[in-house]
Amino acid sequence: MKILFLDQSNKLGGAELSLADVAKPYRSDCLVGIFADGPFRELLEDHQIPVQVLTNQPIQIHRNSNFIQSIGRTGSLVPLIAKVAEIAHNYDLIYANTQKALVVGALASCLSRRPLVYHLRDILSADHFSRTNRRIAVMLANRFASLVIANSKATRSAFIEAGGRSDITAVVYNGFEPENYQIQPSSLTQLKQQLGINDQYVVGHFSRLSPWKGQHILIEALTHCPSDVTAILVGDPLFGEEDYAKQLHKQVANLGLEKRVQFLGFRSDIAPLMASCDLVAHTSISPEPFGRVIIEAMLCNSPVVAAAAGGVVELVESARTGWLVKPGDVRELADVITLCHHKPELAAKIANQAQQQLQVSGRFYLSATHQQIAQLLHQLMKGTPNSLDP
């Protein structure tokens, strides 16, 4: 099947890493069209996935735009929409991976008469998007998409609550290749030495720096933990949130935590870093659509504490495969960190249970994701209703 994938970003966010995985089986015949040049193009090229930068004009639709601004700005997309429609004639379907890609893909699908698939990786709620942008996304998906693939039940529910059609949606979880997360403990010694964390209790946080990802919650929680608990913050501000990064540095200085918090910036060696941590913390204060880092930590056999909102509650069973805490609750987070620190055998047991459950169910394996998406696309091309094998 020949697929034209579309993604608005040039950065390596979770949506882009997931799309690179989705596109792998189609690499001989697909094209990933992106709306800006950067590291995402390089990653796709590294995986031998055909990629084309379709425009170098910045796209001006913001998460909090109002209706007039959004529609006005859509006009500036006309050349891009025309280009995508022309390219789409050589493909069987258009597969939009982000919201701006949906705007472009919907109109291009209409012009080229190619079916549209929307892979929904956002929770369409007021926490994340203006009312206008939610309405535009839902209207375009309802009107133009033949299939909406939601990356969690929470994402699907938010779409339907915002007015999205339930008959065109299916849930497909992100998938991972477990072999990429198998790290020999002996290979970690050097990394720990480089980071100076050999003799410390280390809590890892892996995410772009963004207020809703809640790195500030972890920093504050450290003040309620034993003094040998330290944190590594892995990630950069990806989408213009540099002010938040500055605030975090200030917070660390104000709390006198300079020796206990390290900012590592964006890293590609996520698996060894996670395996070097005693605990991985996920601290989003708004509902997380999926939370790739949680499954990645489980595959690395690191215990996880996560904020219980959105898709996260579908990934973690509290006190069995990790711990769930109330989003934004500093004390509760500190209590779990302290518990894991004092009871390393319990933390190891929970991490083992999580890893085993992933192995037994295969639910978050990339092979399962590929199989489900292939089935849905096959049904779409045959014109039969969307459904997945139980």
**Residue with smaller CB distance to ligand UDP, 108 or 316:** 316
| DSSP H or E segment with residue 51 | strand 51-53
SS3 276: helix
**Residue with smaller CB distance to ligand UDP, 14 or 237:** 14
Residue 296 makes contact with ligand UDP by CB under 6 A: yes
Residue 217 makes contact with ligand UDP by CB under 6 A: no
| Least gap, CB of 240 to ligand UDP (angstroms) | 14
Residue 336 makes contact with ligand UDP by CB under 6 A: no
CA distance 267 to 276: 14
Q: In Å, how far are 206, 254, 310 from 210, measured between CA atoms?
A: 11, 19, 17
Q: Which stretch binds ligand UDP (CB under 6 A): 11-19, 46-54, 81-89, 107-115?
A: 11-19
CA distance 216 to 246: 11
Residue 209 makes contact with ligand UDP by CB under 6 A: no
Q: In Å, how far are 164, 165, 241 from 65, measured between CA atoms?
A: 20, 24, 17
Tokens standing for 68? 């007039």
Residue 231 makes contact with ligand UDP by CB under 6 A: no
Residue 293 makes contact with ligand UDP by CB under 6 A: yes
Which of 51, 88, 120, 270 contacts ligand UDP by CB under 6 A?
Answer: 270
φ, ψ at 385 (rounded to 5°)? -65, 150
Residue 172 makes contact with ligand UDP by CB under 6 A: no
Which of 3, 4, 8, 13 contacts ligand UDP by CB under 6 A?
Answer: 13
Residue 208 makes contact with ligand UDP by CB under 6 A: yes
Q: Which of 109, 108, 139, 107 is CA-nearest to residue 124?
A: 139
Q: How many residues touch ligand UDP (CB under 6 A)?
A: 18
Q: Closest residue (Cβ) to ligand UDP? A: 14
Give strand pairing partners of 281: 305
Residue 15 makes contact with ligand UDP by CB under 6 A: yes
Which of 235, 303, 322, 327 contacts ligand UDP by CB under 6 A?
Answer: 235
**Residue with smaller CB distance to ligand UDP, 244 or 266:** 266
Residue 122 makes contact with ligand UDP by CB under 6 A: no
Q: Which stretch binds ligand UDP (CB under 6 A): 9-17, 19-27, 45-53, 224-232?
A: 9-17
Residue 212 makes contact with ligand UDP by CB under 6 A: no
Residue 155 makes contact with ligand UDP by CB under 6 A: no
Name residues contacting ligand UDP, limited to 17-76 (CB under 6 A). Answer: 17
Give the E-state strand segments of 164-242 in sequence order: 169-171, 201-206, 229-234
Which stretches within the chain are classed as H helix? 14-23, 39-46, 67-75, 78-88, 99-112, 131-144, 153-161, 188-195, 215-222, 242-254, 270-276, 292-299, 312-315, 330-342, 344-361, 366-382
Answer for the pair 157, 122: CB distance below 8 angstroms, yes or no.
no
Q: Which residues contact 93 (CB under 8 A, 6 or more apart)?
A: 1, 2, 3, 4, 114, 115, 116, 117, 377, 380, 381
Helices (H) and strands (E) in the chain, counts: 16, 13
**Residue with smaller CB distance to ligand UDP, 33 or 291:** 291
**Residue with smaller CB distance to ligand UDP, 110 or 191:** 191
Tokens standing for 215? 């790195």
Which amino acid, one-letter code, is at 40? F
Residue 310 makes contact with ligand UDP by CB under 6 A: no
Q: What is the dihedral of CA 284, 288, 292, 293, to 10 degrees?
A: 10
Which of 267, 326, 331, 349 contacts ligand UDP by CB under 6 A?
Answer: 267
Q: Which stretch binds ligand UDP (CB under 6 A): 6-14, 125-133, 323-331, 373-381?
A: 6-14
Residue 292 makes contact with ligand UDP by CB under 6 A: yes
Q: Which stretch binds ligand UDP (CB under 6 A): 31-39, 68-76, 100-108, 201-209?
A: 201-209
**Residue with smaller CB distance to ligand UDP, 86 or 177:** 177
Residues that bind ligand UDP (CB under 6 A): 12-15, 17, 206-208, 234-235, 266-267, 270, 290-293, 296
